[in-house]
Amino acid sequence: MAISDKSSRQSLIPSFLYSSSSGRTLALEKILHAASSSSSPAVSNAETVLPRKSFVIAAPSEPSKKIELYSPAYYAACTAGGILSCGLTHMAVTPLDLVKCNMQIDPLKYKSISSGFGVLLKEQGLRGFFKGWVPTLLGYSAQGACKFGFYEFFKKYYSDIAGPEYAAKYKTLIYLAGSASAEFIADVALCPFEAVKVRVQTQPGFARGLSDGLPKFVKSEGTLGLYKGIVPLWGRQIPYTMMKFASFETIVEMIYKYGVPTPKDQCSKSLQLGISFAGGYVAGVLCAIVSHPADNLVSFLNNAKGATVGDAVKKMGLVGLFTRGLPLRIVMIGTLTGAQWGIYDAFKVFVGLPTTGGVAPAAPATELAKV
């Protein structure tokens, strides 16, 4: 993912998303230094004796060595942040996911959220709430690595192709294209784990987890059977991720533009992370609504051997396809997405990178002239 050309690496989109005052600070110091040197010879002579001190004091919280944007280290950090944000959060909501999948597969038995938890507790005990947590952790860690790492790469790549002016003008299209490309790759990594997870969670007695569930699944369905649900998974995850990233970037931009009285680079890190969580939660609710029909299809196809999309539509009905399990998924995905953006940006801050999103740049002079 390294950008070999130095000028390409410095071409900016999303430069307005990762704006920094460091360039302005260096320019200010040079101006002050020049002014002081020309205005007073005494001061100039004194500077030859006494060491000159910097006009701006570095913030103690900033690391001494920062990661260069769009460098291999930058993409590696984004990949690591994606692993943490997706793997840990999906594992944490395993009980909700378990009830949601069973409500989709057997609505007569799992009639509601509360009754679903009651049935699981009665039949499987407390341990049953975390059935399938291993394939969930591993699968969504792999997915998160590809999703966030490749999103940052494709966002920069498509922006360089478009050029600074068009990238700023059509930034939402850049977000949509970058997230769709990243999720296409991420789902290839996720699909085998998702297939085993659904089978373990929805078929009592099939397997305890990944270690015994994967061989049984391959023996029953074949190796290619692990990818039987890849098309519905793309159908669920690609619109979900496009909504997740584009709406998040837009919401965060609007918060900084209209809801926060100070520029982003003057806000505290805690405030920036709070905005990341809030933007992520709202984006998650929108994601859940957009991707829910495909989520029902994924659960149905991975639960029944030889099942088809037509079988799912016939059994669930069109209304059921859009609504079955939706309230629980809204709660789950809203919380999940908010936590993911919070963790992801917290990790970026930890390694010395700026948080994601920001205020849109001012319109170029040529655009203003047209107006």
Q: What is the pLDDT of residues 259-297, one digit of tens each?
A: 998 889 899 999 999 999 999 999 999 988 988 888 888
Cα–Cα distance list, 61 to 58, 66, 138, 206, 230 (Å): 9, 12, 33, 51, 44
**pLDDT for the residue numbered 65:** 58
Per-residue tokens: 167: 């990238």
pLDDT confidence band for 353 (50 / 70 / 90): very high
**pLDDT for the residue numbered 248:** 96
In the predicted model, is pLDDT for residue 16 greater than 70? no
CB 293 within 8 A of CB 322: yes
What are the domain boundaries of the chain?
66-227, 236-356
pTM exceeds 0.75 for this model: no
Phi first, then psi, for residue 125 (nearest 5°) are 75, -175
pLDDT confidence band for 359 (50 / 70 / 90): low
For residue 172, give the nearest of 357, 371, 367, 366 by alpha carbon: 357
In the predicted model, is pLDDT for residue 19 greater than 60? no
- Check residues 19 and 69 and name the one with the higher pLDDT: 69
**pLDDT for the residue numbered 329:** 86
Over residues 109-147, the pLDDT tens digits come to 888 888 888 998 888 888 888 889 999 999 999 999 999
Q: How far apart are CA 80 and CA 181, in angstroms?
A: 19
To the question of domain 66-227 being in CATH 1.10.10.10, the answer is no
**pLDDT for the residue numbered 281:** 95
- Check residues 106 and 181 and name the one with the higher pLDDT: 181
pLDDT confidence band for 360 (50 / 70 / 90): very low
pLDDT confidence band for 315 (50 / 70 / 90): confident
Q: How far apart are CA 77 and CA 348, in angstroms?
A: 7
CB 75 within 8 A of CB 1: yes
In the predicted model, is pLDDT for residue 163 greater than 70? yes
Candidate from 39-43, 105-109, 170-174 with smallest mean pLDDT: 39-43
**pLDDT for the residue numbered 321:** 85
Mean per-residue pLDDT for 234-247?
92
Q: What is the dihedral of CA 28, 29, 32, 33, to 10 degrees?
A: -150
